[in-house]
Structure formats: structure tokens, C-alpha cells
Structure 1
Amino acid sequence: MNGNILECITEQYHSLTRSGKKLADFIFANTSTTQYLSISTLAEQSGVSEASITRFCHGLGLSGYNDFKLALAKADYVTDLGDPSHSPETITSEDSLNNIFHKLHASNILSLNETLELIDERNVEKAVDLLSEADRVFCFGQGGSMVMAMEAWARFSTASSRFIHIEDSHMQAMNIALATSKDVILFFSYSGSTKDMEDIMNIAKKQGIPIILITHFSKSRAAEFADVILLCGYNESPLQSGSVAAKVGQLFLIECLFYVFCKRNPELFAAARSATAEAIARKLL
């Protein structure tokens, strides 16, 4: 596809199917918000099937829905620094340093507030039940979400040795192929829609391994595999991939899980945290 995606849709509009026109109408009316939607949410809100959306994307010469969202984000008005312009937290090169700092602060606070509103106590309890009873907990993610998986592993490693982090997706698949239903996967995926994620989860389901998913989209592809879903706040544009604000909400969820986990057996985990702190203290100057 060459040029602006909205112009391409306009040019092809009269040759689209009935569902294609229905989808196009929704996109034209909701250009700014569509780029933040998962394919399942777009299907639900526009009234067409996910298959119709995929065919629509291919008809525009795109590889799939994620490629479409990126093209749509580029077509929407963006600042000279590449961020979407329709948010009050958007930063431009004209902002003073003080304005930049305040806008970033506002973004992070927004992420925390939205995540707090989305927290379901029952799901947190279910997640901690799985973490507490597991022989091993595999902390997984890919790309920016891999960083969050590492954060979870590092945090929980101060209280328990059962948490494991593996970066490489091939090694993740190999380990899950040998895991059992007594193990658990704590999976981080903001979008909930990646090929490596789906590969891992398919293997996990065959092995009967419970999956705890931390994501932004409750109806993403990953959510179909998950036993427990915890939602993080903040709408991240495809052009903002890897934003700190999106990670802040996930860090907050990690901390919530950690303290509820330790609350189950306070004396045991207090002793473990003391032991790990002493071990690290010896390395400090």
C-alpha cells in the first residue's frame, strides 16, 4: 500500500462489500480511537466479523490488522515528534522542558488511575492462588513486554525461587513443552496479539498449564487462552510502542500481585526477603 490509508479506503469504497463499507464507515467516524482497538473489539463495535476485518486489511495491500493499525496511526494527525496529537499529554518539540515533565507525569498518573479502576479483586485472588500453588512460575513476554516479565521475575525472586524468566521465544516453547499442569505461566502482552505469544499459549493449553495474562485488551487473542486476565490501563498508540506510561500500569499490577502473594504466608516470605536482602547487601560498597 502506498500513500495515506484513509485515502486508499476512500478510493476503494464503492468496490467494497457490504461489510467492508460498514467497517469503512466506522473507521471514518472513529479514526482516532480505532487505532487503539483490538481486532475483536473493532469487530464488536463496528458490527462485522474478525474475518471481514482481516479481508479488508488484505484488500488494502496490508499484511494484517496490526499493519493496518500502524498505517492508520500514521494517517491520523501526529506531532512533529511522532506522537498522536489528540491527547492532552501529547508532547511536541515546542514544549518547554517543564511542560514535557508535567505531561509525562500526567501520562503516568493516568495509567495508574486507569489500572486501579480496572483491577478485579477476584481475578487478583485467582491469580495469586495459581502463583502460590505452582511448582514453577514462568514469567514470559516478547519485545517490550519481555521487559515487564523480567520485572515480575526480579520482584518475586526476592521472596521465592519458583519464579523463572526466559527471554528467547524458542527456549520458552521448549520449556513449556516439558512443563506440567502444576506449573503456571505469567504472561505479559499489552496487545495480546503476537505470533510468538500464540505459539507459546497453544503449547501451554495442550500441556494443561494455567495462564495468567496481563494485557490491555480483555478480548484479545491471548485472552482466549488465559485462565485469569488482569487489565492494565493507558491507551498506547501503535506509534507509541514501548511507552513508559503503558508499563507503569503493568508495574503496578506486579506490585499488587507481589504483596497479595506475600500476604498468604507473611512469616515465610518476610524471612525469604530478609535473606535475599542480606545476600545483596554484601555486594554493596
Structure 2
Amino acid sequence: MLDRIKASIPSLAPAEQRVAHLVLSDPRAFANLPVTELASRAHVSKPTVIRFCRSVGYDGLSDFKLKLAGSVSEGVPFIHRSVDVDDKTSDVLVKVIDNTVAAFLKYRNDASSVAIEKAATALAATYQTGHRIEFFGAGNSGIVAQDAQHKFFRLGVHAIAYSDGHMQVMSASMLRPGDCVVIISNSGRTRDLMDAESIARKNGATTIVITASGSPLASAGHIHLAADHPEGYDRYSPMVSRLLHLMIIDILATCVALRIGGEKLQPLLKEMKNNLRSKRYA
């Protein structure tokens, strides 16, 4: 959670940056002090303290303090342990699994339910009105975009995934108000994805971005679903980031499925399962 706040500082207003520094200087005290005292110590107004909490992706001051207290006390310690050249297979197994589990638990504590609610509502509304839903990603994130298309396809949602930069720009050029595009990026700095987001937003489409806090893409999107972890975006083979993005897609797909409703989905999924039985060995 503290790493997320640090990453968000450059994108915050000057007054909100003072609140951020106050949090980082003494997280335990911030979680326990009343808003009046917090505002006084940061030399800002009480509404600024609340705006800061929302700017970094939380529902408000109460939600922020609750998750901050949990993060500080129970401490899901996110110690990203890199694999070393002399590691044994058993060491690699433990490090890779520990890094992944820690990232998932950290996300559970840090995730903004408000942002997820907004994204799921936008996607469900796009589906119900028959507008376009598209998923964009480049490189490793392009595979996540394809997985997202498959997840939503199984729900009866017509969606398209593009991983080619030219196709993304061409498709974004055809998006219109009521359409929705989900853009997935580890770094939040990929030029092709930034260009596609800008075009889609200019054409009136809703842009949902799954990326790191404080990145240019995070600031550009209408709805930002933060995916923060210590794994550098310039690593040759991102692992934790890919799994974190896949999990966020799973959460979105589940939320959208609930909005579509079981009465409509259950018969569809049952028929699909029955039709696939002939494809399997008995």
C-alpha cells in the first residue's frame, strides 16, 4: 500500500502530496488520528485529506485508514525475492510462488472496490446496450487481453482483443460513445497503447486501464484499476504482473457475470458444457 502511495505522488496535486508524505512518514499514526488532526499536520483542509484518499484509489478516508491499519499491523510483507543464478530448483519454486501469493494478498488489501465497481458497471452497460467491448495489450499484456476476450466470450459477451499497435489505433478510431475499451499495460508507458487510449477517449468511448499507479496511462484512463508490484516493467520475463492482470480480469468477468444474471447465463453455460462433452475422452 505504501509503495502504491509513493508511486502516485507525482500525479497528485501539491496539497495532496503533503498528505501522502504525512502517511509515509508515520503510517500507524495516520491510521489512528482524526481527520482534523491529519489536516492540521499536513497543513491542508479536511476535504483535501479525503480527496487524497480517493485520488490514490480508495473509497474515502474510512476505507483508506482501515486498509492502511490492516497493511501496517498484519503486514502482508511484499518481499520480492529475485531468482539468483545459483538457486536450486526448490529455491526457484519457493521464490516464484511466494512472490505471486504476496502480490495477490497485497492486491486484496490495496484494491479499490469503487474503481472495480465503476469498471464492471461500465462493461455491463456496454454489453446490455449492444455496444463494442475491446481489450488492448502489447507483448505480454497482449496475451492477457486475449484471455480477457475468452473470459467475456464465455459469458455471451461479444468482445475483441488486439495486441497489434496498428490494429489498436485503427479499432480505437472506430469506437464511439457507449463503447468500452480495456487497456492492459505493465509499465503504463507503451506508446501504442497510449495512442490508442487517447483516440478512443477522444471518440467518446469509456477507457478502463489496468496498469501501475503514477504511470501516464493511469492518469489518462477514465477508470484506473491499479496493478502495483515491485517487479520492474523492464524485466525480460514479467511473471507477477501477468498473473496479477489475469486475476483482475477474473474479478471483472465475475462482477459482469453477476450483473448479467444467472437466469440468462446458466442455460447458456450449461448448453456450452454439454456441447463440449463430445470433444473429450470418456
Q: TM-score scaled to structure 1, two decimals? A: 0.67
Deviations 1:232-261 (A, max 9, x none): 232112452442211121111111111111
CA separation of 1:96 and 1:242: change in aligned 2, threshold 3 A: closer
1:125 aligns with: 117
Q: Equivalences for 1:104-183 in 2 at 5 Å?
A: 104-134=96-126, 135-183=131-179
Answer whether contact 1:114 1:232 (CA < 8 A) is retained: no
Shift of 1:106: 0.4
Shift of 1:138: 0.3
Task: Kindly report the root-mean-square deviation, in angstroms, between the aligned alpha carbons of the 2 structures.
Answer: 2.6
1:200 aligns with: 196
> Equivalent residue of 1:235, what SS?
coil
How far apart in 1 are the matches of 2:216 and 2:169?
18
How far apart in 2 are the matches of 1:173 and 1:275?
36
How far apart in 2 are the matches of 1:173 and 1:106?
38
Q: Equivalences for 1:1-285 in 2 at 5 Å?
A: 40=10, 89-134=81-126, 135-217=131-213, 219-264=214-259, 265-285=261-281
Gaps of 5+ in 1: 1-32, 48-86
How far apart in 2 are the matches of 1:231 and 1:254?
12
Shift of 1:140: 0.6
Shift of 1:278: 3.3
Shift of 1:178: 1.5
CA separation of 1:194 and 1:42: change in aligned 2, threshold 3 A: farther
Higher RCO, Cα 8 Å, sep 6+: 1
Shift of 1:224: 2.5
How far apart in 1 are the matches of 2:162 and 2:271?
24
How far apart in 2 are the matches of 1:88 and 1:122?
28
Question: Aligned partner of 2:111: which letter?
Answer: I
Between the two proteins, the alignment pairs up a number of residues equal to: 209
How far apart in 2 are the matches of 1:118 and 1:101?
26
Identity %: 23
